[in-house]
Structure formats: structure tokens, C-alpha cells
Structure 1
Amino acid sequence: MHLSVLWLSALFSLGASQTFSKCDPTIKSCPPNPGLPYRDYQINFSYGLDHLNWEHFAAGGYNYSHAGAGLTISKSGQSPTLQTKWYIFFGLIEVHLRAAPGQGIVSCIVLESDDGDEIDFEWLGGEPQRLQTNYFGKRNTTTWDRGRFSHVDDTQYVTHSYAIDWNQDSITWYVDWQPVRTLRFHEAVDGTNFPQTPARLRLGIWSGGDPKNPEGTISWSGGRTDYSKGPYTMYVERVRIVNYNPATSYVWGDKSGSWQSIQQVHGNRRVVRDMETQARILDSQADQSGQQSFVRAPGRRRAQAAARPEPSYRHMSGDGEASIH
């Protein structure tokens, strides 16, 4: 099974489909994608939601505490999700989180484009020591052989770092900065199914085991969800996003869906100034409390995490099961 086909179906049933793009640029002319106009963005959700850059998506519980953003399912029909208001065009994302426990509960990290290009991490609540990596190209659902599984010690009660390094040549998935999988361009049907168009980041939780779902979905997610044993919460502590091609917007030059067709627009300095101002305000608030905000204003020095590889920084101009302990 593949998460997004099921997850999107669940979200649509909640009447939330208007939040997703209704315009596929490979089918018709669409408005440009708003972009992240600077290279490095970071946020610590223990200080709350950065409303300028993120939005709540779909029904469910949203709570911000020292543990970060808590996304909670307590009853049928909920699928709380955080999503960025802008897109990146190749980049590095790092998310520190704890997946939700619970039979039938699915936690996920998704990079998704308007044409159906997609890169995922996903966790089933009934399998606390395993995760799945996956990808999609142009919503191609003709095969289900893109998923790979990796063993990770305790995904639900220990916070791990999950990262995706994505450029036009390859995608590498990391757990605690140990690579668990690499996909190269030519391995995805000679690039046809390789994710390569501007994408936004979504972090969410949904109930694949909801009794209203098809039996196939319930079986894939590990069985029926018992809401009386909830609530079920996924915790997102902090996020770092490096946009390898910063721009205020991305224009699709044609309907090919190829990375070469994407045009970067670098106008509207007001948008950049507003984002920088918001970041500095949150940084200042954190400084006053003696802590670090992890919303990074450009040019601000920050603490460096140890033992992380250098990202690819590729600019425009593996199979098997891994084990992490």
C-alpha cells in the first residue's frame, strides 16, 4: 500500500480537499507555486506555530508544548496535519519527531508536488520498530514496489531525526543521520517517476484503521483502530528545511513535469522581508527566555548539530532493509 493515496482519500472525505492544489501543471496552466525565498529555515514547535509559514490542515487536535507540536486523533474522522505555505525546489529536510502509537494509526512526513511527485517517511502505530520510505512520480500507481522498510529502535517513545536529501540526481533518506536508502534518478523508470518538481512539506497523522475505511486500507495499516484506547498523538519537535533553489515563486514553463522546465522567480522583496522579520521576532522571544527558537533568520548564527553529513546543495544550471540502533 502507499500512504498518500489512502491519506488524501481520508482527507477529502473530511471536506478538506480545497487545501490541496486543484491545479495540476502537467494538465493545464496553473498559478506559480509560492517559494521559500531563502536557503535555510528552522523552527522549534515548542514555541508554537509560525503562522506566516505554516498552517493547520484538517480536523483533529493541535497542541504546542515543551514536547513540540502534538498532532492528536481522538475520534473517527480526524487527521491533523501541518503544512508549509510555500514550496521548495530540491533541498534537505530534517524533522525531529516521535511517531504515534496505536493499531491502525499512521504518522507521516510527505514532500508532495502539485503534479503528484512525492517523497515519504511513514510509520504504522502497531509497528514501533519499523518505518517505510517511499516515493511517487506523477501519481503513477501502476506498481507498488517503491516502498522499502527499515528497522529503528523505538520510533514512538524516543525522538529521532529523520531527513531527506533531495536533488535532481538522487534522493537519500536518513535516520539519525545514518543513510537508510538512496534512490538515483535513472532507477525511477529512467527518471520518469523521479520526484523533480517544487514540493511543499506536510507532517501528519491519520487513522488507516478507521472502521469506515475499506478493508484493504484497514489491513495495510495494521487493523481496526480502537478510539477508546486513545487519544493517539504524534509529536514534532523541530524542523529544518534547506531550499537548494531559493525563490519567491516557481513557474512551470511547460506541461512536461521535468525539473528543467521549472523557472525560478526572485522578485517581491517584501515577502522576503516579512519572513525575515517574523523569524527575528521569534528568535528574540527565545533569547529572552534563554532558549533557542529554531526559527532561523538569515545571517543569524546557530548551534550546529553533531555528526550530520554535508547536504548535497545541488543547484539548477538501494534497496534492502536497513537497521538503525
Structure 2
Amino acid sequence: MARLLAFAALLAAAVIQVQAGATCGPGQALCPSSAPCCSEFGFCQAYGPYCLGGCNPLSSHTLDSCRPMPICRDKTYTFAPGNPTLVNATTYDGNSTAYDWTIDAGTPLNTNNNGGELALILTQDSRAPKGTRISTTEYVLYGTITATIKTSKWNGVVGAFITMSNIKVRFIVTGQARTKYFGKEIDWEWPGNHPLEAQSNFFFQGHVDYTAGHGATHTLSSDSYENYHDYTINWQPDQLQFSIDGNVVRTVRKEETLVDGVYQYPTSPARVQLSIWPGGLPDSPQGVVTWSGGLIQYNEPEYQAAGNQYQVLVSKVVIQCSTSSGLAVGPDTVSYMYGANDTSGIPTVYASNRTALLNDGSARYSLPFVGASAWSLIALAIGAGAALTF
């Protein structure tokens, strides 16, 4: 059960005390009109942030209950002072022009080294006990994404560079009283103390099938903790390629993913996410602990020497949007939206001129007064401050 995005469960636990709505997801009733948005972690909500990034349209009141997904634009993100701009997910208003990334958990830092590096941190204390995750405010529907990264190298610690769609399905972990939510995703991951390896993977609407060979391990030319490497996801309508330092190490063709008449291939708009998270916690599923290299050792000299934190460093992210999505994209197109299922039961996607902004005049998306204590809990869960410019 290693690659089941256990980090999502950790984030859900961090905010569950302020998610007062009914649960939602496959096999459950759609969210009511009074709380129309099915949030990333499976709760019906009526307001603001929960109708934006990660909002699951298939379990919301209607397909358009979630805000539209800002459309992909070619961008290069470096981390010199002033670039890019990050905003806490709880205060993000849907303005993808003003904000490049949301801070979903933890506290990213700038090292001010080598022209600027983004440090994703994991700590034992309250700064980032569940790790750090950031997500792009814009969505990719096919394209080439390259992240230049120095990975972690410690037992129990996982670094990740992935794409994640908003569509989630419920997956019951066998033998455990827990439910996880998974979507269409494409992964680069670095679990545990294996600095000469990187793992690639992909999932289709929560179909977790290790026997089908969706996961693979690749050898690196040099230590990924000591040296930066370029990791690329080249996601096109007909094939998916994983590359390291410009060299293709894996190709997955869509035609090879056909199962029972359905192509189990990622086809939904997705955010790019970068994270570091603790797989090796005492209460983690044993499969996750084993995959991530065992329990985290917070008494390691390197952890203490680094200011009592583990890090993943990112120096650059380059996103090149594909022009082969098949959508009718025009000069006024600003977002993607979901439509009815196609003949195989897969949700269709169309280009839209609707904005993702919460203050577009639709009262149902505005941020209500929910009490200072509740918002304080949310802010503590993902870090203080409304926006952060490096």
C-alpha cells in the first residue's frame, strides 16, 4: 500500500476538526445544495477554499458546484527573491494570475543559496509535523513538466513531484479502518534512504493496481541528495514519458492501458504538486512504513544540524502546456470544467470562459464568517500568513 498518497490522509487529519460538513465521495450521496462542494478530503462545504483546488466535481451537488479550474499557461518558476508568489490555501481567492502556488500544508522556506532554492520542510515540532505541500494554482491538461530537485535521503521520509486531478474515488484499505481518496495522478517519488533511485508511477481514478506494472524504479547517475537532477513528466494524449536529466527512462502508451473497455490512463486537468511527507510514523499503515524505509529517526545528527528539519530542495519548475488536448480553446478561454460522462463512463472536460474567482458575484462561493477560532485552526494546519513572496 506504499504509493497511496498517505500524505493526503495526514492533511485530512490536520483539518478534520474544522470540516463540519457531511462526508462525501463515491458510494455516498452527493453534497446538498446548502453545502455543494465536496472538498479534497471528502467533506461537503459551502464556502470559499473548499470549492477551489481539490474540489471533487463528481461528488459535489452538481458538476459546476466546484469553481472552474484555471487553464494551463507556459511558465518557468524559479525561486529567486520575489518569484514566485505563494498563498495559503485557506485564503486563496481563485486568482491564479496573482498567485502561482498554494501552500496546502507546512512551511516552505527560501534558502537564499544558489540564486534561490525552495526548501520543503518536515519537522517533528509544530512547524511542519505532517510535512509541506504546495500546488500550482493553474491546471495542466497534457504537457511537459520538469522539476529540478535535490531529494531527501532519510528513512521514513518521502519526497514527491506529482500531478493530481480533482477527481477522487474512495478506496478502502484492506484490513484497516480507514478510507483514502485517490484520483488520476502521475508521480515521481523518492522514499527513504535511496539517493541513487527514483520511482515513477501513475493512477487512474483511484485504480491502484501494482500487478499491472504502474510503478517502476529507476537508477540515477549520481546521488539525488547531493546533486540536482531534472525530473520530467511528459504527459500527452497518447503516451506518458518519464525522463531524468533529459533521458527518457519510461514510456507508457495509452493504448496499452485498456482494461475492460476503459483506458486506465490519466485524462483530467491536474495541479502540479511538490511535497515532503512522513511515511515512517508509528500510526502509518505498515506498508507505507516499509516502503518509505522504516520509522523516522528525529535524533539523526543531520536532522539536528539542519535546524531540526528534513528538506527537499527545488530550484526550478518548468511547465509547457500541450496544444493537443482536443479542446476548443479560444482567446477568451480561462478555465477547464467538467461535463457529463462519455460512453465509457469517464467525465468529459471542456474549455470555459468562466473565472475561478470566488468574488465573481456568486454569493455561494464567498468566504463566510465561521469564527476566529475555526480559521485559526485551519491556518495552524498549513502555516501562518496570507501570502508569501520569495
TM-score by length of 2: 0.63
Q: 1-side partners of 2:204 and 2:72: how far apart?
A: 25
Which residue of 2 is the match for residue 63 of structure 1?
Answer: 110
Which residue of 2 is the match for residue 167 of structure 1?
Answer: 236
Q: 1-side partners of 2:54 and 2:341: how far apart?
A: 16
Which residue, 336, 339, 342 being the options, matches 1:253?
A: 339
Q: Is the 8 A contact 2:192 2:291 kept in 1?
A: no
Bigger Cα displacement from structure 2, 24-33 vs 158-167: 24-33
Letter in 2 for 1:244: S
Q: Is the 8 A contact 1:208 1:218 kept in 2?
A: yes
Q: 1-side partners of 2:350 and 2:67: how far apart?
A: 9
How far is 1:24 from its partner? 3.6
Which residue, 193, 199, 214 being the options, matches 2:285?
A: 214
Q: 2-side partners of 1:74 and 1:33: how far apart?
A: 34
How far is 1:192 from its partner? 2.4
Q: 1-side partners of 2:110 and 2:164: how far apart?
A: 24
Which residue of 2 is the match for residue 236 of structure 1?
Answer: 314
Cα pair distance change 1:93/1:260, threshold 3 Å: same
Q: Is the 8 A contact 1:62 1:69 kept in 2?
A: yes
Q: 1-side partners of 2:135 and 2:227: how far apart?
A: 23
Letter in 1 for 2:124: K
Q: Does 1:181 align with 2:233?
A: no
SS at match of 1:15: helix
Q: Does 1:45 align with 2:114?
A: no
Which structure is larger by alpha-carbon Rg, 1 or 2?
2
Cα pair distance change 1:61/1:53, threshold 3 Å: closer
Letter in 2 for 1:187: E
Q: Does 1:23 align with 2:56?
A: yes
SS at match of 1:10: helix
Q: Is the 8 A contact 2:57 2:338 kept in 1?
A: no
Q: 2-side partners of 1:22 and 1:261: how far apart?
A: 16
Which residue of 2 is the match for residue 137 of structure 1?
Answer: 204
Unpaired segments ≥5 residues, structure 1:
271-325
Cα pair distance change 1:133/1:265, threshold 3 Å: same
Q: 1-side partners of 2:67 and 2:108: how far apart?
A: 32
Which residue, 151, 155, 158 being the options, matches 2:219?
A: 151
Q: CA RMSD in A?
A: 2.6
SS at match of 2:85: coil
Q: Is the 8 A contact 2:2 2:288 kept in 1?
A: no
Cα pair distance change 1:37/1:179, threshold 3 Å: closer
Q: 2-side partners of 1:248 and 1:26: how far apart?
A: 24
Which residue of 2 is the match for residue 295 of structure 1?
Answer: none
SS at match of 1:217: helix
Q: Deviations over 1:231-281 (max 9, x none)?
A: 21000101110112574111212134988921112566x9xxxxxxxxxxx
SS at match of 2:201: strand
Q: 1-side partners of 2:336 and 2:108: how far apart?
A: 33
Q: 1-side partners of 2:296 and 2:230: how far apart?
A: 27
Letter in 2 for 1:8: A
Q: Runs of 4 or more off by more than 6 Å in structure 1?
A: 257-260
User: Matched residue pairs, number?
Assistant: 268
SS at match of 1:46: coil
Cα pair distance change 1:212/1:267, threshold 3 Å: closer
Q: 2-side partners of 1:138 and 1:37: how far apart?
A: 21
SS at match of 2:106: coil
Which residue of 2 is the match for residue 278 of structure 1?
Answer: none
Cα pair distance change 1:156/1:178, threshold 3 Å: same
Letter in 2 for 1:141: V
Letter in 2 for 1:43: Y
Q: 2-side partners of 1:37 and 1:87: how far apart?
A: 5
Q: 1-side partners of 2:334 and 2:184: how far apart?
A: 21
Q: Does 1:110 align with 2:162?
A: yes
Q: 2-side partners of 1:238 and 1:142: how far apart?
A: 32
Cα pair distance change 1:242/1:26, threshold 3 Å: farther
How far is 1:20 from its partner? 5.4
Q: 2-side partners of 1:219 and 1:84: how far apart?
A: 30
SS at match of 2:163: strand
Q: Is the 8 A contact 1:26 1:255 kept in 2?
A: no
Which residue of 2 is the match for residue 35 of structure 1?
Answer: 70
Unpaired segments ≥5 residues, structure 2:
17-40, 42-49, 87-98, 168-182, 304-308, 324-328, 358-390
Q: 2-side partners of 1:258 and 1:118: how far apart?
A: 18
